[in-house]
């Protein structure tokens, strides 16, 4: 029974990662696009902020999975 609960929690964290990553990339795009427009740059900040958003989403996913594993071991 414990394994089923752990797998369901892991599935919930994994499925939420897709939406979180998509939202982070979209927000990064919008911020970067706005700053590129403001400073007259050619998509440099757009790319940088999209990459930073993707990295932040992956980091958050790894932290959630680590916490889930740490709670399971207790």
Per the domain annotation, does 1 fall within a domain? no
Per the domain annotation, does 24 fall within a domain? yes
The distance of Cα 45 from the centroid of its chain, to the nearest Å, equals 19
Say what the pLDDT of residue 59 is: 96
Q: What domain count does the chain have?
A: 1
Per the domain annotation, does 47 fall within a domain? yes
The pLDDT of residue 1 is above 80: no
Per the domain annotation, does 7 fall within a domain? no
What are residue 12's phi and psi, to 5 degrees?
-65, -45
Say what the pLDDT of residue 9 is: 87
Say what the pLDDT of residue 74 is: 62
In 3D space, the residue among 29, 26, 24 whose CA is nearest the CA of residue 45 turns out to be 29
Per the domain annotation, does 9 fall within a domain? no
Please give the structure tokens belonging to residue 39.
């400073």
Task: Give CA–CA dist 70/31, Å, rounded.
Answer: 35
**51 lies in which domain range?**
15-73
Per the domain annotation, does 20 fall within a domain? yes
In this predicted model, what pLDDT tens digit does every residue of 2-33 receive, in sequence order? 788 888 988 899 899 999 999 999 999 999 99
Per the domain annotation, does 2 fall within a domain? no
Per the domain annotation, does 5 fall within a domain? no
């Amino acid at each position: 029974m414990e394994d089923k609960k752990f797998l369901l929690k892991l599935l919930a964290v994994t499925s939420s990662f897709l939406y979180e990553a998509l939202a982070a990339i979209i927000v990064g795009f919008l911020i970067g696009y706005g700053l590129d427009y403001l400073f007259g740059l050619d998509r440099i900040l757009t790319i940088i902020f999209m990459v930073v958003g993707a990295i932040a989403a992956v980091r958050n996913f790894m932290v959630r999975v680590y916490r889930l594993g740490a709670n399971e071991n207790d």
